[in-house]
Amino acid sequence: MTKKIKKFEEVINQYDGFIFDQFGVIHNGKQIHKNAEDCFFQILKKNKKILLLSNSGKSSKINKERIKSIGSKIIHEQKMITSGDVCKKLLLEKKYPLNNIGNKYFLIGSNYDLLKGTDYQKTEDIDDSDFLLLNTLPNDNNKEINLDKSIRNNKLLICANPDLLGVSGNKVSKSVGSFALEYESKGGRVIFIGKPYSNVFDIALNYFANIKKERILMIGDSLFHDIKGATKADIDSLFILSGIHKNDFELLEDHYIKNKILNLTKNKYIPTYFCNFLKY
């Protein structure tokens, strides 16, 4: 059964490796949580390892620059892996399931181009593409996308960010994965790269190769990505209530929080611990 903690201090000595989600845990998209930086400082002071593991369709370099710009002093200096990084790696390696998918891609989302400078060719004609690459939610440049036609033409959609919800300031709204899920629900073929899938957790755990699994803790705010992924990877997890699920858990007493977690996850992936927000 999941256990409530009030402070990160209660668990820090039980683990040697810490995997942190980004949005909703260390910042809200607009401002770094100072309490999170305090936790990072204490982890580093004890010579323990940190990894930031983010479902972002953009590179770790760009994410670190953003984290620094919103107030990070030490968090942006830590090792980071994004789902965008992993997506690019898998596409360049052309290993299953990203082998034999063709060379031309149509970009859905922002103008940030994950595959720029590679052998893959970007096309502005969706009908001429071999596959669709989704890195952020569709924008004004994507208004004319005919998804039904793409589904009929059996176009593969590669989603570089499986998150269904995202945090921006005090708001929780739809994220990139919701678009991919809609495509899939209509019969489209989708490959998701990111948490909770093993394609990112395998790489993350390799970073902690010298640390036993029982000494690794995942800290995240998404039951369906961070906590589910940690459970599948057989590592412990700390669920942050104040992130994307905050509307589900506001004002609930501890007993009802536990029941809500069980109901939302259908008792399949339960966090080892939960707390209101990250604080040392």
Domain chopping of the chain, boundaries: 3-84+196-275, 97-192
Q: Give the architecture-level CATH label for domain 3-84+196-275.
A: 3-Layer(aba) Sandwich (3.40)
Is 243 within 8 Å of 278 (Cβ atoms)?
no
| pLDDT digits (tens), the chain, 280 positions | 899 999 999 999 999 999 999 999 999 989 999 999 999 999 999 999 999 999 999 999 999 999 999 999 999 999 999 999 999 999 999 988 889 999 999 999 887 888 988 999 999 889 999 999 998 888 766 666 777 889 999 999 999 999 999 888 888 888 999 999 999 999 999 999 999 999 999 999 999 999 999 999 999 999 999 999 999 999 999 999 999 998 888 878 888 999 999 999 999 999 999 999 999 9
Q: What three-state secondary structure class fits 234? A: coil
- C-alpha torsion angle, residues 55, 182, 124, 160 (rounded to 10): 10
Please give the pLDDT value at position 81: 98
Determine the CATH number of domain 97-192: 3.40.50.1000
- Whether the ω angle into residue 196 lies within 30 degrees of 0, i.e. cis, is yes
Domains 3-84+196-275 and 97-192 share a fold: yes
Longest dimension (CA), the chain: 55
Cβ count within 10 A of residue 80 = 22
Q: Which residue, chain included where needed, has tokens 């004002």?
A: 251
| Chain mean position to CA 276 | 20
Strand partners, 52: 20, 80
| Tokens found for residue 150 | 């793409």
